């Protein structure tokens, strides 16, 4: 799910991925979490971790392991074999707030007066500074710089007076603002939480006598689990040996929900379903709409791997112009957050992607990509097609122009860094060297999300909640 522009700093960073499992038969779950995280690797490649507990053993005894890098780099047979337990949570991270360090890797494990809490978080809070200050004045000592620790501390603090963990979670949710899907492990419970707006996905699965919580359905497929349903926006789901219970007190009316549309455009794997909508079909539909709204005469439609491919196929199906492959992607390039210096960025593009000259020579090519953020590599990719002999290069983008930053877990940077800020589509077209350029119309977004309410803040500047007065998201020049 990684796109060429990730290596060059001109592609949105993925979300994080969360996974949890409770096996009522008492089987060890670490290997299932490992494979679940492997399926969610596209959501974050900076760090990962697993925490497990034995519900039949000493209460609150949690074993965990985490580190920097990919899942198959951090874990091996030896350290995975030491994680013994029938309940556990896992996490893959891409940082949108907080430094990229081992201390900030998740899951977070807290020992407090009521026992132990392990938490994995996908999303981004917008009121972290105030919440953090409140905790600091109460004597809290922070071990990380991430907002996930603020969530964990507030749950732990509420738990002191709350009768149950899930009630403590509900009380904490009334304080935190922003985007979050949480998987929480207490000594005898697995809890799934989704923010009231539904920014980030979270689903429930079942395999034999085990229940699973995961960011995407593709993780359920990987471990042979059956999809049950999505966690509702604002819902708290509790899994115990007695089964599943649900608390929907914080659910908003549907018209106020605001899913991140980029899950459908780019973030999620195409074989996932989010809130009943298939991601692959969403991208096919985006391509069809581009063909309807921005037609052009051409000989070939191609996608920029990977997320541009489905939209390119949709464009081809709607327009009748043949779909083909113009780019060969090197699948062995290292982790995307290790980027070359500015002076060698062009070679970074060519290391990861090369053009099939025979496929494009002498042809009018329509090139589909999912987004243009800063525009620092679109011109190079267009140039590579021209160098390979393409007669014309027409670029189509399966999202509208980015005009505003995102504060909810997608690292759309400050407006001044966005190529579309203060520039017309014609000016951008000239900058990237294309013969024509068109974006997906904003009114098409809800259609590709199956009619579900979505957040369009990064395109329209209209956010579902008041954005923070200070930008607390961290440094996006990664």
Q: Which CATH class is domain 274-460?
A: alpha beta
Identical fold between 4-257 and 274-460: no
Nearest in space to 200 (alpha carbons), one of 158, 152, 235: 235
Q: Tens digit of pLDDT for each residue in 373-429?
A: 888 889 999 999 999 999 999 999 999 999 999 999 887 878 888 999 999 999 999
The residues, any chain, with a CB within 8 Å of residue 428's CB and separated by 6 or more, are 372, 375, 401, 419, 420, 437
Residue-range domain boundaries for the chain: 4-257, 274-460
pLDDT at residue 230 greater than cutoff 70: yes
pTM of the full predicted structure? 0.91
Kindly indicate the confidence band of residue 476, based on its pLDDT and cuts at 50, 70 and 90. very low
According to the model, what pLDDT value does residue 138 have? 82
Chain centroid, CA 61 distance in Å:
30
Kindly indicate the confidence band of residue 2, based on its pLDDT and cuts at 50, 70 and 90. very low
The number of beta carbons lying within 10 Å of the beta carbon of residue 299 is: 16
- What is the helix (H) or strand (E) element at residue 425, kind and residue range? helix 425-432
CA distances to 17, 186, 251 from 154, in Å: 22, 15, 20
- Active-site residue list: 16
CA distances to 41, 224, 452, 473 from 180, in Å: 18, 26, 18, 15
Q: Please check whether residue 55 is in contact with residue 118, taking contact to mean a CB–CB distance below 8 angstroms.
A: no
Find the angle CA(248)-CA(451)-CA(439) to the nearest 5 degrees.
Answer: 130
Q: Please check whether residue 475 is in contact with residue 99, taking contact to mean a CB–CB distance below 8 angstroms.
A: no
According to the model, what pLDDT value does residue 471 have? 59
- What is the helix (H) or strand (E) element at residue 248, kind and residue range? none
At how many degrees (to 10) do helices 425-432 and 378-387 cross?
Answer: 50
End-to-end CA gap in the chain: 19
Q: Tens digit of pLDDT for each residue in 13-58?
A: 556 999 999 999 999 999 999 999 999 999 999 999 999 999 998 8
According to the model, what pLDDT value does residue 340 have? 37
For the ranges 290-304, 317-331, 334-348, 383-397, the lowest mean pLDDT is seen at 334-348
Tell which CATH architecture fits domain 4-257. 4-Layer Sandwich (3.60)
Q: Please check whether residue 218 is in contact with residue 1, taking contact to mean a CB–CB distance below 8 angstroms.
A: no
């Amino acid at each position: 799910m990684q796109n060429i522009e990730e290596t060059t700093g001109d592609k949105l960073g993925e979300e994080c991925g969360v996974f949890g499992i409770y096996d009522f038969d008492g089987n060890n779950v670490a290997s299932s979490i490992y494979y679940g995280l492997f399926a969610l690797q596209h959501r974050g490649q900076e760090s990962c971790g697993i925490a497990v507990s034995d519900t039949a053993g000493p209460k609150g005894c949690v074993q965990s392991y985490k580190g920097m890098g990919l899942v198959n780099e951090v874990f091996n047979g030896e350290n995975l074999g030491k994680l013994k337990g029938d309940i556990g949570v896992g996490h893959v991270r891409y940082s949108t707030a907080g430094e990229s360090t081992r201390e900030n890797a998740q899951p977070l494990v807290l020992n407090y007066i009521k026992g132990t809490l392990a938490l994995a978080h996908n999303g981004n809070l917008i009121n972290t500074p105030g919440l953090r200050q409140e905790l600091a004045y109460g004597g809290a000592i922070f071990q990380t710089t991430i907002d996930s620790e603020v969530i964990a501390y507030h749950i732990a603090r509420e738990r002191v007076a709350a009768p149950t963990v899930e009630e403590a979670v509900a009380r904490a949710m009334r304080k935190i603002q922003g985007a979050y899907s949480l998987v929480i492990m207490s000594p005898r419970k697995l809890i799934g939480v989704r923010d009231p707006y539904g920014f980030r996905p979270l689903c429930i699965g079942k395999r034999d006598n085990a229940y699973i919580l995961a960011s995407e359905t593709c993780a359920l497929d990987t471990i042979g689990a059956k999809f049950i349903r999505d966690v509702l926006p604002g819902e708290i789901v509790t899994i115990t040996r007695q089964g599943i219970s649900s608390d929907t007190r914080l659910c908003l009316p549907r018209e106020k929900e605001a899913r991140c549309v980029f899950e459908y455009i780019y973030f999620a794997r195409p074989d996932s379903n989010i809130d009943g909508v298939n991601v692959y079909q969403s991208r096919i539909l985006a391509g069809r709409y581009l063909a309807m709204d921005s037609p052009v005469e051409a000989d070939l439609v191609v996608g920029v791997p990977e997320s541009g491919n489905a939209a390119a196929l949709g464009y081809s199906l709607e327009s009748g112009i043949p779909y083909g492959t113009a780019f060969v992607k090197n699948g062995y390039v290292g982790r995307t957050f290790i980027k070359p210096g500015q002076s060698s960025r062009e070679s970074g593009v060519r290391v990861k992607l090369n053009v099939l000259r025979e496929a494009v020579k002498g042809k009018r090519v329509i090139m589909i990509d999912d987004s243009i953020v800063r525009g620092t590599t679109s011109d190079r990719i267009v140039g590579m097609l021209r160098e390979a002999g393409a007669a014309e290069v027409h670029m189509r983008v399966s999202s509208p122009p980015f005009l505003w930053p995102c504060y909810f877990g997608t690292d759309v940077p400050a407006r001044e860094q966005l190529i579309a800020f203060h520039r017309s589509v014609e000016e951008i077209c000239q900058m990237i060297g294309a013969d024509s350029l068109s974006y997906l119309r904003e009114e098409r977004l809800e259609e590709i999300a199956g009619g579900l309410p979505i957040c369009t803040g990064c395109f329209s500047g209209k956010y579902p909640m008041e954005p923070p007065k200070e930008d607390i998201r961290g440094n996006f020049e990664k």
